[in-house]
A and B are shown apart, each in its own frame.
Chain A
Amino acid sequence: MILIAIVYLLAVVFSIALGQIEVNFLNPTADQIAVMAYRWQRAIAASIAGVVLAASALTLQTVTRNNLVDSGIIGVNAGAVLGKVLALYYGLRASLPMSLIGSLMALSITLLLGYARGSDILRLVVAGIVVNSALSSAISLITLYLYTSASAVLSWTLGHIRLLSAQEWYLLTVSAVLTAFLLFRHRQLDLLTLSQDEARSLGLDYRRETAVLLVASSIAAALISSVFGVLSFVGVIAPNLARRVSEGTHIHLFMYSITLGATLMVLADLMARTLIKGIEVPTGLLVSFVGAAFYLYFFWRASIDKHP
């Protein structure tokens, strides 16, 4: 754990010191201090995104009993993109509220469909897939008629870390508070690894607890996607790496996941800024690339474990 924390701190230091403009880290000029302050803000924003996405995905994974799930499954990403696309289509300047509303609407529809006739976690996951699919086609349709701004939509879908407005910092704070709430429910999440009946016999109000955890974790993730766009895979990678290195109780899993999530996002953002001279690669793209490699590795390892 200490090792990962040190790696995280190093990542932050590097992301402040390195970039397309050279700075003298130990003895900076006034201009260089401004550059470093800018990078520092980006590093913090990236860290918060990583922490929230990791904690939210860990919660969703435990509640749905599926370790390859993240907040995308609830439809929040597609909802945020649709909101953004609609804002572009109607030429609205306020795209942040639109993407926030879109993402929360998608979340409510998924929850409504999922809980409409009895609470069944599998039903919820299916509802998420349905909502995702419907929203994707809507997004494609609108993008098709956006001609000139199609690349703006694409760019946003890929997820960017950037400087944030005061409004956006406020949303980030709310999502961080929701994440803290999830952390405080680690005992309940431990009980949710048992069967439903066993958890209930140990005093857990199963329906209420799963509903509360689902809503809190998805809203936290919805806030992140409405600010940054789609950052997929961090949520899947961080908790699964945490499971490999730590014991399975949630207090441990949370600590490892959020540190790993933050580290991954800071490193991805650092690479995004420095990889190609003169342009910035979308952070989300890099995270997805690393994520894809991880997926492959995970399945590969899992199949080896099963057939020795």
Chain B
Amino acid sequence: MINIPELKFCYGSRFTLSVPKILIDRFPAFMVGANGSGKTTLLRIIGGFIRIQTPPQIIWHGNWVPVKPRYFAYLPAQPYYEPSFSVRSYLLLAGNEEKLHEIAEELELSRILSYRMGTLSSGWLQRVLIARILLQDTSYVLMDEPTSFLDPEARKELLNILAKHPDKKMVISSHDLAFLSGFGAFVLGLRDGRVVFSGDPKTFFQQGIDDVFIKGYIM
């Protein structure tokens, strides 16, 4: 459960994000909206990467606590990695050898553990990034546009992988509505820094979609 208090956040004078009090209690939760609507900013506030006066709270080991970056496994839209790291060394940044084997087996990465990060194709790279996220010892996961560089097949694979981990409480920022319709349980619609929809995906597709995107949005 993630409890976001009413908040206002400004980037200079050009952009203001204002959010009413929201309780995210169903996962995977999706944040949808056009580019520049404030998805990434809200995601980083939820993760505690941007500190605000009254931070959001999560349930951590049974207690409500203010968020901190280390409570979340975070996949930014453009992750950094050192190309000369082997896949194994990269994954070991997030977990121990034992868990690494488990995840590598599941995502069929065992064969490429000795490859260098810089030599992977974008499909394999995405798998390795997801593996790192799943490896981290936390149930909260934040992902920023995880499908943006994937072809339809790779997107389906990603969905299959994520679906096998219902224990992970995922918050995903995306404008990929096909991804949302196949996977989401809760939707937060943003437009120009304001929350214009919150509810379940079914209602979103019936009513909310026109508020979030321009009218006549083609899926």
Contacts and interface: CB of A to CB of B under 8 A. Distances in A.
Interface string B60-85: 00000000011011111011111111
A198 interface: yes
Contact of B79 (A190, A195, A243): A195
Given A191-B93, A193-B80, A194-B80, A200 B49 contact: yes
Given A190-B89, A191-B93, A247-B84, A200 B76 contact: no
Given A202-B93, A247-B85, A248-B83, A197 B136 contact: no
A198 B89 contact: no
B44 interface: yes
B69 A190 contact: no
Interface string B76-101: 10111111111001000110000000
B77 to A, nearest CB: 10
B38 interface: no
A150 B211 CA distance: 74
Contacts of A248: 82-86, 89, 116
Of the four ranges (under 10, 10 to 19, 20 to 34, 35 or more), the interface on chain A belongs to: 10 to 19
Contacts of A249: 85-86, 89
B143 to A, nearest CB: 12
B131 to A, nearest CB: 14
Contacts of A278: none
A201 interface: yes
Contacts of A247: 84-86, 89, 116
Contacts of B79: 194-195, 198
Contacts of B184: none
A308 interface: no
A200 B93 contact: no
A198 B116 CA distance: 20
Given A190-B89, A202-B93, A203-B70, A197 B49 contact: yes
A195 B49 CA distance: 12
Contact of A201 (B73, B82, B83, B116): B73
Contacts of A200: 49, 69-70
Contacts of B94: 202
A190 B94 CA distance: 11
**Which of B49, B78, B80 gathers the greatest number of chain A CB atoms within 10 Å?**
B80
A201 B85 contact: no
A69 to B, nearest CB: 16
A198 B80 contact: yes
Contacts of B85: 190, 193, 247-249
B200 to A, nearest CB: 28
A247 B119 CA distance: 13
Interface string A22-64: 0000000000000000000000000000000000000000000
Contacts of A197: 44, 47, 49, 69, 74, 76
A204 to B, nearest CB: 8
A124 B72 CA distance: 29
Nearest to A251: B89
A201 B70 contact: yes
Contacts of B86: 247-249
B84 A243 contact: yes
**Which of A191, A194, A247 gathers the greatest number of chain B CB atoms within 10 Å?**
A194
A218 B161 CA distance: 45
Nearest to B74: A201
Contacts of B80: 193-195, 198
A303 B76 CA distance: 29
7 contacts: A194-B81, A197-B74, A198-B75, A198-B79, A201-B73, A203-B70, A248-B86
Interface of A: 190-191, 193-195, 197-198, 200-203, 243, 246-249
Given A190-B85, A247-B86, A248-B84, 10 more contacts: A193-B85, A195-B78, A197-B69, A198-B76, A198-B79, A201-B72, A201-B73, A246-B84, A247-B85, A248-B116
Nearest 6 pairs between A and B by C-beta? Answer: A248-B84, A200-B69, A193-B82, A195-B80, A201-B74, A248-B85
